[in-house]
Chain A
Amino acid sequence: MKLTGAQIVWECLRKEGVDVIFGFPGGAIMPTHDALLQYPEIRHYLVRHEQNAAHAADGYARSTGKVGVTISTSGPGATNLVTGLATAMMDSSPIVSFTGQVPTTLLGNDAFQETDVTGVTLPVTKHNYLVTDVKDLAQTIAEAFYIARSGRPGPVLIDLCKDVQLSETTFEYPEDVRLPGLHLSPVPDSDALAAAAELINEAERPLILAGHGVVLGNASQELLALIEKAEIPVVNTLLGLGCIPHQHPLCLGMGGMHGEFCTNQAIQECDVLIGIGMRFDDRITGRLDEFAPTARVIHFELDEAEIGKNVPVDVPVIGDCKDTLAAILPYVEEQRRPQWMDTIRAWQAETAKREITELEFEDLIPPYVMQQLYETTEGNCFVVSDVGQHQMWEAQYFPHQRPRQLITSGGLGTMGYGVPAAIGAKVGNPDALVWAVVGDGGFQMTMEELGTIMQERVPVKIAIVNNGFLGMVRQWQQLFFDKRYVGTPIMSPDYVKLASAYGIPAISVSERSDVSDAFTEANSADGPFLIEFKVKEEVNVYPMVAPGAAVDQMIRRPEPRVVQGRRGTQPSW
């Protein structure tokens, strides 16, 4: 039987097990949207901007481990995707994006809504295709899904000429895909494993830096087995948070620019540093030539190009870390390291003295909001954070329990990611509680998605941390630009009214004592819920590695110096 290109798109999605798609229609993709009527088992979520379709697909992918799919039109519908694709590319998130394109006869003619989409998206996709012949379509889609999820995942875009969507061919979905240029995870190399194990066995102060790769590779169990056998403490990158539970005695939390001081001390003092599924990004290393100065480096990584890209590596272990971690276990000796652990515990105790939220005071500060989010949900929710100070506070003060629990734009740091990605996470996990934790700035970048929440009935919860500023930039202005607040004070609308215009229940909280109740109410509400937290404005994220400084040269949290203020006992910041 012959099918149109448009039908073939949906047939292929069905073969790939896709049942949701985030999209926005337009001229050049109309035949494909039209054919969706024949496939009621696939649900189309209408977003309010194509960038958010990509973020939603990304949030769906990160929270489920499946490929997220978008569909949009040519020209603006495709260029609007770019930020979302770049975000997914940086964080290795598997997405397949379909875009409409002008008919093949008009390609290259600057026809209405023509853009060189494969050209524009080339550097922000893992791969992309322009389909000019319906006979290539099924093969292309099969390849796209395969590429998106295999090896180091990433976004793949398929640009579909309009006439391809309309012309017919016999449909046959390729059973398997062979791509000679795609080098998949190699079998773990036993020499490398032995060399790595020898370093680990002889180490006195080993340390693991675990990143997103552990999450993407579903390798938490393998990681736990290794660290427990050889007593190796673990530092996480932002995207690695949750790959082992925060409460695990060997979990030291996040390192890097806003990592705990004790955590960064461990990085600087270790003698063997084991990077797993991470890429030694500048946010984790700080000043490169002073990074982990005494350490020999082992790097477990799937993407060979990451080996030695930023930090010289003594022993590379190439492969999927689920395989390599399992394979190294027999080579690694069972060990206890009381001395190293005592040193770390002492550093942790010193750091704990500066924990701000343990203080008695009245102001509503963002760390308290994060702690209450954890307390009221008992850690039982997805947290999708946006970008800025609140993102760092979430990372610091919400103890992550499991992989995929935290979803955030790490590599690109895309403001506006939070709400649409939370929609994607909720769509992928309808029975789970999904919280978007966003700033007043980032929320206003994509708040049109309240429309999607309303129309498509996606019951996500939104916590806006309203500090009246583009806080993270303001913090840098305060610290490095003599407090010249140019372009960072930001006004907000009345969020409660705004939400109510969309039929979304909302409250605004400005007292510390109301935080817990507000969260409890939102958690138990059936539908979506929005809380605005009017927090103390000029609060900084500490500790902090100043740009260009080594990771242990941190601006520390001020010592808790309690002063008597107008409103009683206050800490000084």
Chain B
Amino acid sequence: MMKHTVVAWMEDKPGVLNRVSSLFRRRNFNIESLTVGHSETPGISRMTFVVDGDEHMVDQAVKQLDKLVNITRVENFTARPAVIRELALIRVSAAGSERSEVVQLTDIYRARIVDVALDSLVVEITGPESRINSFINLMSNFGITEMVRTGRIAMTRGVGSVTHTGEVSPGWRPGTNQWTLSNGK
């Protein structure tokens, strides 16, 4: 079993997310997280999801998803060098002397305090999951009273871009139509 990061581009139409989640449920794919938002192209949303499963499961997830009419492209990022990030908001109880400890740890993790109350703080942290996990571990010593995590988002490293139409080579000039697809469909 392994965690795979997969990115899918979809038309921004009603019900699309329902189609995606219905497919995941029906085919018994283990989806650990799923994040959707706008992409660089108007009308196209970009979804990052994490499948917890073997090669066969992720292969099926990619191919079955690709068959949905509103999904324009699906790409497995797992084997590619990529920036992978997650964001978490954590409310930590911090009164009295514990307060400065939390502030210190927040600094070390390059997290940010985004809200302050008398006996608690809200910390915002972004980073790879492992860093967020270890920060949460530490914070649980003070008492986490509320938490929300976004799940993974991912972008490949290097000069090229990956968009809903394919791999865009570095020579691309927006608006000039000068780009090549190496893996377009």
Contact = CB atoms under 8 A, between A and B. Distances in A.
Interface of A: 118-119, 122-123, 126-127, 130, 147, 179-183, 303-305, 307-309
Contacts of A122: 18-19, 22
Contacts of B59: 308
Interface residues of B, number: 23
Contacts of B60: 305, 309
B69 A127 contact: yes
B110 interface: no
Contacts of A309: 60
A309 B10 CA distance: 24
- A-B pairs, top 8 by smallest CB distance, nearest first, are A305-B63, A127-B69, A180-B72, A181-B72, A181-B69, A305-B64, A181-B71, A304-B63
B56 interface: yes
Of the candidates B11, B67, B185, the one having the most CB atoms from chain A within 10 angstroms of its own CB is: B67
Given A181-B11, A181-B72, A305 B26 contact: no
Contacts of A303: 67
Nearest to A128: B15
Nearest to B55: A308
A183 B63 CA distance: 11
A180 B19 contact: no
Nearest to A312: B56
16 contacts: A123-B22, A126-B69, A130-B15, A179-B69, A180-B11, A180-B72, A181-B10, A181-B68, A181-B71, A182-B69, A303-B67, A304-B63, A305-B60, A305-B67, A308-B56, A308-B59
A147 B67 CA distance: 11
Contacts of A304: 63, 66
A183 B62 CA distance: 14
Contacts of B14: 130
Contacts of B11: 180-181
Nearest to A126: B69
Interface string B71-98: 1100000000000000000000000000
Interface of B: 10-11, 14-15, 18-19, 22, 26, 56, 59-60, 63-64, 66-72, 164-165, 185
B65 to A, nearest CB: 9
Nearest to A152: B67
B75 to A, nearest CB: 14
Contacts of B26: 123
Contacts of B63: 304-305, 307
Nearest to B67: A305
A118 B15 contact: yes
Contacts of A182: 69
Contacts of B165: 180
Contacts of A180: 11, 72, 164-165
Contacts of A130: 14-15
Contact of B70 (A119, A181, A305, A308): A181
Contacts of B22: 122-123
B43 to A, nearest CB: 10
Nearest to B165: A180
B69 A119 contact: no
A132 to B, nearest CB: 9
Nearest to A127: B69
A181 B14 CA distance: 15
B18 A119 contact: yes
B170 to A, nearest CB: 24
B10 to A, nearest CB: 8
Contacts of A308: 56, 59
B13 to A, nearest CB: 10
Contacts of A183: 66, 185
Given A126-B69, A305-B63, A307-B63, 14 more contacts: A118-B15, A122-B18, A122-B19, A123-B22, A123-B26, A130-B14, A180-B164, A181-B68, A181-B71, A181-B72, A182-B69, A304-B66, A308-B56, A309-B60
B45 to A, nearest CB: 12
Nearest to A156: B69
A181 B16 CA distance: 12
A513 to B, nearest CB: 52
A128 B10 CA distance: 16
B69 A147 contact: yes
A28 B60 CA distance: 39
For A179, A180, A303, A307, the residue with the greatest tally of chain B CB atoms inside 10 Å of its CB is: A180
A83 to B, nearest CB: 17
B11 to A, nearest CB: 6
A125 to B, nearest CB: 10
A308 to B, nearest CB: 7
B110 to A, nearest CB: 39
B181 to A, nearest CB: 13
A127 B11 CA distance: 14
A303 B18 CA distance: 22
B104 to A, nearest CB: 50
Residue among B63, B69, B165 with the highest chain A CB neighbour number at 10 A = B69
B116 to A, nearest CB: 41
Nearest to A146: B69
A137 to B, nearest CB: 16
A198 to B, nearest CB: 25
A308 B15 CA distance: 29
Contacts of B70: 181
B68 to A, nearest CB: 7
Contacts of B185: 183
B30 to A, nearest CB: 17
A126 B69 CA distance: 8
A90 to B, nearest CB: 13
A313 to B, nearest CB: 11
A123 B164 CA distance: 25
Contacts of B10: 181
A554 B84 CA distance: 53
A95 to B, nearest CB: 16
Contacts of A123: 22, 26
Contacts of A119: 18
Contacts of A147: 69
Nearest to B19: A122
A179 B68 CA distance: 11
Among A182, A305, A309, chain B packs the most CB atoms within 10 A around the CB of: A305
Contacts of B164: 180
A308 B10 CA distance: 25
Contacts of A305: 60, 63-64, 66-67
A212 B69 CA distance: 22
A137 B56 CA distance: 40
Contacts of A307: 63
